[in-house]
Amino acid sequence: MLQPVADQPTILPAITPNPCARPAEVFDIDEYDGPLTQLVARFTRKLEIKTVHAPHKKPHTPLCALSANEKFHLFMEDTLEPVNFLDAGWDAALAQASNDDPTFGQGVAGYGKRYGASLLDNVAGDFFNTFLYPSIFQQDPRYYRLGHGSFQQRLGHALRHTFVAHGDSGHLMPNYSEWFGTASAKALSNLYHPGNERGFGTVAERAGMSITTDMAWDVAREFWPEITHKLHLPFRPRQNEWATTTPAPAEPVKRLPDAAKPAPLPSNSGAVDATHQ
């Protein structure tokens, strides 16, 4: 009697994820050999945190996309940079001098309120531009440094990032995160800036100033290695990460012709040492 054959489980082929590459480091504080190492490290880290470009070993391999969790950590890392606290202090000093938000008053108390508001501005901008909207639109919030080509090409590349960004898929797409994030941050600031003028025109003006500042940061990210060289900052030179180098072939060992070889020394085996005579 024939026994029924049990159904064999279907083995599906393993799905191999598309290969991707980790970005090459743009700056390395170990290359710095000048004074004020900690201060220089903090400033360069502010530029480096959101700057990437293709690794020199695999320049055509797409960079690995960031998960939502990684984008949140990127937001936290960028927000907690000490440079942001210095920037908030500078903005608060300017606001104090021009008496922005007059309800804050003057003196130490007024400066403290303006300083807190400036910090909130920075945090809100980073939250919307680096985490929330990049996670919603599946965009990469980092700046992709070109690093080669003419000055006009690199400048255009830096300015274009405000309008065009890389998606998590690796393809280019409109930079929704920049525009929606900036508009959201400026609209939110009306809650804790009582002196802000309300209305679409005023929010659009403040958003335009913020976007211009972001464009300036992108230009600094693109040309920072050249800026350090031009200003003679004491960074040790670094090999161009876009260059492909091959080790120089070893020179063959040259053999001397027989005529040029030194004659062998005579053997002392039957001779008597004169000192022992």
Tokens coding 197: 């003028």
Tokens coding 50: 């959101």
Q: Interior CA angle at 44 toward 40 and 46, to 5°? A: 125
Q: What is the pLDDT of residue 75?
A: 93
Q: What is the pLDDT of residue 245?
A: 38
According to DSSP, the β-strands at 172-174 and 164-166 are antiparallel
- Backbone φ and ψ of 94, nearest 5°: -65, -40
- In order, the DSSP letters of the chain are -PPPPPPPPP-PPPPPPPP-BPPPPS--GGGB-SS-HHHHHHHHHHHHTTEE---SSSTTSPBPPPPHHHHHHHHHHHHT-HHHHHHHHHHHHHHHHTT-SGGG-SHHHHHHHHHHHHHHHHHHHHIIIIIIHHHHHTB--SEE----S-HHHHHHHHHHTTTEEEBTTS-EEE-HHHHHHHHHHHHHGGGT-TTSPPSHHHHHHHHHHHHHHHHHHHHHHHHHHHHHHHTT-SBPP---TT----PPPPPPPPPPPGGGSPPPPPP-TT---GGG-
Distance of alpha carbon 164 from alpha carbon 202, whole angstroms: 25
Q: What is the pLDDT of residue 148?
A: 84
Q: What is the pLDDT of residue 195?
A: 74
Q: What is the pLDDT of residue 163?
A: 95
Flag whether the pTM goes above 0.85.
Answer: no
* pLDDT, one tens digit for every residue, the chain (277 residues): 555 555 555 554 444 445 555 554 545 555 555 555 556 655 666 777 888 875 555 555 667 788 999 999 999 988 888 888 888 899 899 888 988 888 888 899 999 999 999 999 999 999 999 999 999 999 999 998 888 889 999 999 999 999 999 999 888 999 999 999 999 998 888 888 887 777 777 778 888 888 998 999 899 888 887 877 776 665 544 444 433 333 444 444 455 555 555 555 555 544 444 444 4
